[in-house]
Amino acid sequence: MVRMGKAALRLERREDGQLWAVRDGEERAVRVRRLFPWSEDGRHISLRDVDDGEFALVGPDEQLDDASAGALDEATKGAGFVLEVTAVLDIDEEIEIRVWKVETRQGLRTFQTHLDDWPRETPGGGLLIRDVAGDHYFVPAPGALDARSREWLWAFVD
């Protein structure tokens, strides 16, 4: 059942490590799903229970206490996590795949994309690359990368 703007929603990360949502005396372990991860700045969030049913939909106007907002914020960061590219070191074309070597904020990473799986531009002007395993690599501002990285990316950005 979807409920918005009704009884106060409370969220907390409990000792078992899971995020729990409580509303109307009903509580469930939930996970967060951002509805617009790129276009709306992650302000609409669906809280899903163990069976992937929607326990609550959290909109931008949802009033949350500080602790709940903090717990939700942390969970949202986890759900929206993508590797953030800080430099492109190499792009090589091989048989049916393109091999990328990049420096990310999380560390050095080599990944592969399909030849016709083009990087996607995000509304904020970033670039989103999806590899063959389904991982996403985000370049927040391709124009702000170093000259060598920009050169590597030249064929993939407008």
Contact residues for other proteins, defined by CB under 8 A? 14-19, 29, 31-32, 34, 37, 50, 75, 78-83, 94-97, 99, 104, 106-112, 114, 116, 118, 131-136, 154-156, 158
Q: Where are the beta strands (DSSP E) in the chain?
A: 10-13, 19-23, 26-34, 45-48, 54-58, 83-93, 97-104, 107-114, 120-121, 127-130, 136-139
Closest CA to 63 of 36, 98, 23: 23
Judged by CB, which is closer to other proteins: 15, or 61?
A: 15
CA distance linking residue 22 with residue 145, whole number of Å? 44
Judged by CB, which is closer to other proteins: 66, or 116?
A: 116
Judged by CB, which is closer to other proteins: 52, or 61?
A: 52
Q: How far is the CB of 11 from other proteins (least distance, A)?
A: 13
Judged by CB, which is closer to other proteins: 7, or 115?
A: 115
Q: Which residues of 101-120 are buried (b: 16+ CB within 10 A; e: fewer)?
A: ebbbeeeebebbbeeeeebe
Residues ≥6 apart with Cβ < 8 Å to 19: 11, 12, 13, 29, 30, 31, 32, 71, 72, 75
Q: How far is the CB of 99 from other proteins (least distance, A)?
A: 7
Judged by CB, which is closer to other proteins: 3, or 114?
A: 114
Q: How far is the CB of 124 from other proteins (least distance, A)?
A: 15
Q: How far is the CB of 133 from other proteins (least distance, A)?
A: 4
Q: How far is the CB of 5 from other proteins (least distance, A)?
A: 25
